[in-house]
């Protein structure tokens, strides 16, 4: 949902065989099931090797290098068709990934399916077919591919996504970034002659509820320091405000998204930030949420959750 950077990639290692292209783009999305801003990592998946019946658990260096090379060619192809600097949006409910020109018309499109989701804050990854939010838009379940993984970093998440895309016969791999989650998509059937010249964003209710529920869970568990909770609420609020002005502009969702975004930013402001001045005034210096504040935040988020469930 926030502004994104094209060409995102796993962190390189000393053995890494390829450098990925860097290209900055503003991107947005509106998916009925997942509506985060879309961040393409333009890496193309080659065909499955003949005679290979089981996918690897994660991509090796040659496969990572191959996808980097194919990704660079995709950027060149988009540029050749005048879509190199166009916005990107995705609707997983319809399985549609599109590029939009400055007039808002579709300049290119592809079919999109979900591969997996990765949460950097918890270092956990879930394959799409095991994720309730993504299951309906998922690739088929893959053998030898664990449905959940814990304690993995960003590079490992990329390698799992690449291996899954390869085994799923995807053509391109894109990362979709929400405030606290990455979604990896497999794209196929790239076309510069779109079936429909327009794109209408779907309901944002799914993602809004997902972020609110995640925030409530973090607050109730007491596992995150106050500064992380503050950052979480502020990031989600800012992302919703951005979506109201960007992906959902000129739609009926603008006012509701903006109101929720401002409310979340206001809640973030209620979480105190330790400073020399606050300590001098006798404010609490604990790095954790006070029980009464945690209860107030949970209650406020519950009200927002009830409101958005009406549109789910």
- In tens, the pLDDT along 16-44 reads 333 333 333 333 333 333 333 333 333 33
pLDDT above 80 for 56: no
pLDDT value of position 179? 76
What tens digit of pLDDT does each residue of 159-172 get?
Answer: 999 999 999 999 99
The runs of H, that is alpha helices, within 134-223 are 154-167, 205-221
DSSP E strand stretches across the chain: 5-6, 23-24, 37-43, 87-91, 96-100, 106-119, 124-127, 148-149, 172-177, 182-191
* Rounded Cα gap, residues 81 and 60, in angstroms: 32
Two tokens, residue 21: 């292209």
DSSP secondary structure of 259-301: HHHHHHHHHHHTS----HHHHHTT----SS--HHHHHHHHHHH
Q: Is the pTM of this model over 0.95?
A: no
What tens digit of pLDDT does each residue of 89-108 get?
Answer: 888 888 999 999 988 899 99
pLDDT value of position 229? 93
Q: Give Cβ neighbours of residue 243 (< 8 Å, ≥ 6 apart).
A: 1, 28, 30, 35, 37, 204, 257
Two tokens, residue 156: 């490992």
What tens digit of pLDDT does each residue of 201-218 get?
Answer: 888 998 899 889 989 999
pLDDT value of position 36? 39
Please list the residues that pair with 183 across neighbouring strands: 117, 176
Residue pair 25/85 in contact by the 8 Å Cβ criterion:
yes
Q: Which range has the worst mean pLDDT, 83-97, 106-120, 252-266, 278-292?
A: 278-292
Q: Where are the domains of the chain?
A: 5-191, 205-309
Residue pair 92/31 in contact by the 8 Å Cβ criterion:
yes
Strands 148-149 and 96-100: unpaired
* Rounded Cα gap, residues 123 and 52, in angstroms: 30
Greatest mean pLDDT among 82-86, 221-225, 265-269? 265-269
pLDDT above 90 for 146: yes
Q: Could you give the dihedral angle defined by the CA atoms of residues 202, 208, 214 and 218, in that order, rounded to the nearest 10 degrees?
A: 160
Two tokens, residue 113: 């399916």
Q: Give Cβ neighbours of residue 256 (< 8 Å, ≥ 6 apart).
A: none
Banded model confidence at residue 223, pLDDT cuts 50, 70, 90: confident
- The distance between the two most distant Cα atoms of the chain, rounded to a whole number of Å, is 71
């Amino acid at each position: 949902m926030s502004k994104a950077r094209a060409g995102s990639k796993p962190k390189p290692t000393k053995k890494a065989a390829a450098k990925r292209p860097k290209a900055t783009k503003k991107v947005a999305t509106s998916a009925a099931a997942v509506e985060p801003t879309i961040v393409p990592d333009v890496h193309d998946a080659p065909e499955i090797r003949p005679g290979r019946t089981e996918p690897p658990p994660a991509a090796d260096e040659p496969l990572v290098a191959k996808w980097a090379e194919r990704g660079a060619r995709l950027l060149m192809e988009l540029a050749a068709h005048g879509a190199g600097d166009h916005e990107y949006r995705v609707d997983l409910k319809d399985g549609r990934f599109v590029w939009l020109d400055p007039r808002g018309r579709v300049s290119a499109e592809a079919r999109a399916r979900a591969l997996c989701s990765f949460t950097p804050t918890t270092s956990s990854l879930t394959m799409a077919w095991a994720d309730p939010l993504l299951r309906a838009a998922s690739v088929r379940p893959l053998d030898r591919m664990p449905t959940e993984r814990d304690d993995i970093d960003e590079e490992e998440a990329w390698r799992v996504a690449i291996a899954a895309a390869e085994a799923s016969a995807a053509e391109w791999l894109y990362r979709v970034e929400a405030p606290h989650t990455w979604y990896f998509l497999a794209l196929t059937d790239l076309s510069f002659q779109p079936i429909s010249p327009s794109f209408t964003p779907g309901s944002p209710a799914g993602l809004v509820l997902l972020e609110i529920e995640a925030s409530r869970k973090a607050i109730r568990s007491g596992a995150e320091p106050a500064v992380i909770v503050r950052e979480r609420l502020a990031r989600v609020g800012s992302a919703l405000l951005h979506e109201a002005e960007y992906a959902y502009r000129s739609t009926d969702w603008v006012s509701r998204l903006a109101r929720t975004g401002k409310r979340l930013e206001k809640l973030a402001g209620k979480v105190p930030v330790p400073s020399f001045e606050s300590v001098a005034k006798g404010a609490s210096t604990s790095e954790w949420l006070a029980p009464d504040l945690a209860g107030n935040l949970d209650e406020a988020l519950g009200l927002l959750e009830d409101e958005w469930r009406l549109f789910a």
